[in-house]
Structure 1
């Protein structure tokens, strides 16, 4: 019996749901019971009855599942770390707040919003300051809601998302520490980014437009603002999938997001908007063998602590507050 068959057999025997993010390797993705983007997965898991969740993704996603479903045992075959999420922690959050304060903006005039690509600890900090979580698909609504408070938005950790949404709403943005005037900005951005989406450039877009004059360009809002400005469509992972599925198969399209997801979208006329392979290294850490070993550890009642997601009660409480504020909007 091969590894794939062993995994399917264990899934039938155990009280478990196997979950995989869109960016996972094909062989892992195709065995999952639930697939989707990060928030979608946390919401879908809440509706399952399984005691165990085996989550194939990166650490902050597993934490979100645990925060929203604390009664479940959440295991990750590899607790890989999203590079963007790792760019901010509680200490960096506080340091950046102080820089904003030093620019003459007190905390009572600041409303933090964190992209879901952040740790539970950062989400908790945001929750304690009356802030909210957002995703790339709902950030417009969340930021618009936040601005009604009359406060400046402190957007963490992805500067590109903050800048792109500020532009789309005709607002001013600034980045902490780059010399821009924080007092003039409506949205103050933390200086983080996604290493995968930084690979796409305006030159890549020009290359494809010159080669195929009728081609469409679709990119994720984690791309640089110059890339988003030059694209035909900008949307979250789920929005990109929906947009591309609606196109006639004859329509050529170049897509600026993670390789694995783009590669399985459709068979013809779909191109990667990069001369290099934009593959998320941490999302690709999880292997079939890792999945098998995690399922086997459940069967053998020998779960390894390094595979289980734990979030302290206090952190979970405030992170959940920040997430629930998003759900309300």
Structure 2
């Protein structure tokens, strides 16, 4: 029996749901019971009756499942790190607040909003300050709701998302630490970014438009604002999937997001918007062997300590509050 067959057999025997993000390797993705983007996975994992959730993705995603389903045992075959999420922690969050205060803006005049790509600890800090979580697909609604408070939005950790959404809403944005005027901004952005989506450039778009005059360009809002401005469609992971699947088969499209996902979209007339392979290295760390080892540890009642996601009760409480405020919107 090969590794794939062993995994299928263990899944049938155990009270477990195998979950995988869109960016996972094909061999892992294909075996998952639930696939999707980060928030969708947390919501669907919560809805299962399984005692064990085996989550294939990056650390902050496993934490989101634990925050929403603290009664479940959440295991990650590989607790890989999202580079963007790692750019901010509680310490950096506080340092940025100090810089904002030094610019003449008090905490009482700030409403923090954190992108889902952040740790439970950061989400909890945002929740304590009355803030919310957002995703790339609902950020417009969340920011619009936040602005009704009359406060400035402190958007963490992705500056590109913050800038792109500010521009789409005809608002002013500024980045902490780059010398821009924070007092003039409606949305103050933390200076983080996604290393994969930074690979796409306006030059890439120009190359494809010159080669295929009728081609469409579709990108993720984690891309640089200049890239988003030059594209035909900007949308979240799920929005990109819907947009591309609804295109006529003969319509060429170049896509600016992670390689594994784009590669699965459709077989014809779909191109990667990059001269290099935009593959998320940490999303590709999880292997079939890792999945098997985790499932086997459940069967043997000998869970590998390093695979279990643990979040403190306080962080669960306040991170969940930030998530619930998003769901209300």
TM-score scaled by length of structure 2: 1.00
Equivalent residue for 1:202? 202
Report whether the alignment pairs 1:299 with 2:315: no
- Which residue in 1 is equivalent to 2:98? 98
Q: Which residue is 1:192 aligned to?
A: 192
Q: CA deviation at 1:323?
A: 0.4
Q: Which residue is equivalent to 1:45?
A: 45
Task: Please give the alpha-carbon distance, in whole angstroms, between the structure 2 residues aligned to 1:249 and 1:31.
Answer: 28
Residues of 2 paired with 1:305 and 1:228: CA distance? 42
Q: CA RMSD in A?
A: 0.3
Deviation at 1:247, TM superposition (A): 0.3
- Partner residue of 1:137? 137
Q: Distance in 2 between matches of 1:78 and 1:45?
A: 18
Distance 1:242 1:177 in 2: 37
CA distance in structure 2 between the aligned counterparts of 1:239 and 1:130, rounded to whole angstroms: 28
| Deviation sequence 1:93-145 (CA, Å, 0-9, x none) | 00000000000000000000000000000000000000000000000000000
Distance across 1 between alignment mates of 2:250 and 2:220 = 22
User: 3-state SS of the aligned residue for 1:317?
Assistant: helix
Please give the alpha-carbon distance, in whole angstroms, between the structure 1 residues aligned to 2:112 and 2:68: 21
**Whole-Å Cα distance in 2 between the matches of residues 249 and 17 of structure 1?**
34
Give me the whole-angstrom Cα distance separating, in 1, the residues matched to 2:221 and 2:317: 29
- Aligned with 1:19: secondary structure? strand
Query: When the two structures are aligned, how many residues end up with a matched partner?
Result: 329
Please give the residue correspondences for 1:8-157 in structure 2 after superposition, counting only pairs within 5 Å.
Answer: 8-157=8-157
CA distance in 1, matches of 2:305, 2:99: 38
- CA drift of 1:46 comes to 1.0
Equivalent residue number for residue 262 of structure 1 = 262
Moved over 2 A (4+): none
Secondary structure, aligned partner of 1:155: strand
2:222 is aligned to 222
Q: Distance in 2 between matches of 1:265 and 1:2?
A: 28
Once the 2 structures are TM-superposed, how far is the Cα of residue 243 of structure 1 from its aligned partner?
A: 0.2
User: How does the TM-score come out when normalised to structure 1?
Assistant: 1.00
Which residue number in structure 2 is paired with residue 314 of structure 1?
Answer: 314
1:227-306 alignment to 2 at 5 Å? 227-306=227-306
1:213-244 per-position Cα deviation (integer Å, ceiling 9, x unaligned): 00000000000000000000000000000000
**Cα distance between partner residues in 2 of 1:158 and 1:75:** 27
Q: Distance in 1 between matches of 2:6 and 2:189?
A: 46
Classify the secondary structure of the residue corresponding to 1:142: helix
Matching of residue 213 in structure 1 with residue 224 in structure 2: no
Q: CA offsets, 1:271-326, max 9 Å, x none?
A: 00000000000000000000000000000001011000000000110000000000
Distance 1:232 1:314 in 2: 43
Partner of 2:183: 183
Q: Return the alpha-carbon distance in structure 2 between the equivalents of residues 248 and 71 of structure 1.
A: 45
Report the secondary structure of 1:264's partner residue. Answer: helix
Any gaps of 5 or more consecutive residues in structure 1?
none
Displacement of 1:24: 0.1
SS in 1 for 2:265: coil
* 2:317 is aligned with 1:326: no
